[in-house]
């Protein structure tokens, strides 16, 4: 019985932690099982490119970006953490890792980074296809869901950018079965 209550309390605590983080807004245009076609609004991001395997690159970039939002910027402004943290392959064997700024922060309100490796970018609104899954963000899980989403887009005749973006919504201490991970492809148009 004690284990049951530990699980219930843990679930409630993780739900509160997860609910307290602002997410990048989007509207679901179409849903088919776990696959969604989404319309994303314009947003500002802070991005770093780091070298190494995906895990090492993400860890290094995360530390750089956390220092930026914790006030290591030209105005010493703390910026709220948002979700997801996104990751995509850079052209030069590295990885791009991005934090999205809170929705109220427009490009002219984001402080300049002190660390020259950080790029502040305004991303225009666009459509993405997304597939959500829980568990670990292992190479196997990402490849499996990337394949499912790619197959779906080809089958349904979507024209898309064949360069996946991975999105991670939870801190590492969240148990794998509670985690929200996604693979996304940018949609160019429907054929």
Is the pLDDT at 137 greater than 80? The verdict is: yes
> Which residue ranges make up each domain of the chain?
23-40+125-190, 43-123
pTM: 0.87
Show the DSSP H helices in the chain as ranges.
2-19, 54-69, 139-155
Is the pLDDT at 114 greater than 50? The verdict is: yes
CA separation for the pair 189, 145 (Å, rounded) = 21
- Is the distance from CB of 95 to CB of 49 less than 8 angstroms? yes
In this prediction, residue 12 carries a pLDDT of: 40
- Is the distance from CB of 84 to CB of 18 less than 8 angstroms? no
From residue 138, how far is each of 34, 53, 133, 143, 163 by CA, in Å? 19, 12, 12, 8, 18
The CATH code that applies to domain 43-123 is 3.20.80.10
Report the sign of the C-alpha dihedral through residues 55, 64, 185, 33, in that order: positive
Mean pLDDT of 99-117: 96
pLDDT > 70 in the chain, percent: 88
pLDDT > 90 in the chain, percent: 82
CA separation for the pair 86, 83 (Å, rounded) = 8
Is the pLDDT at 129 greater than 80? The verdict is: yes
Is the pLDDT at 1 greater than 70? The verdict is: no
Mean pLDDT of 154-175: 95
pLDDT tens digits, 57-103: 999 999 999 999 999 999 999 999 999 999 999 987 899 999 999 99
């Amino acid at each position: 019985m004690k284990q049951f209550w530990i699980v219930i309390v843990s679930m409630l605590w993780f739900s509160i932690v997860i609910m307290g983080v602002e997410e990048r807004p989007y509207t679901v245009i179409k849903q088919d099982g776990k696959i969604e076609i989404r319309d994303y609004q314009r947003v500002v991001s802070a991005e770093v490119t780091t070298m190494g395997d995906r895990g090492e690159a993400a860890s290094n970039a995360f530390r750089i970006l956390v220092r930026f939002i914790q006030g290591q910027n030209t105005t010493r402004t703390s910026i709220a953490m948002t979700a997801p943290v996104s990751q995509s392959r850079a052209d030069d064997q590295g990885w791009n890792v991005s934090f999205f700024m809170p929705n109220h922060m427009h490009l002219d309100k984001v402080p300049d980074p002190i660390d020259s490796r950080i790029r502040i970018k305004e991303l225009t609104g666009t459509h993405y296809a997304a597939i959500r899954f829980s568990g670990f963000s292992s190479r196997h899980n990402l490849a499996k869901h990337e394949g499912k989403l790619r197959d779906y887009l080809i089958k349904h005749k979507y024209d898309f950018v064949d360069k996946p973006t991975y999105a991670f919504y939870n801190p590492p201490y969240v148990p794998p079965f509670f985690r929200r991970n996604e693979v996304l492809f940018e949609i160019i148009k429907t054929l």
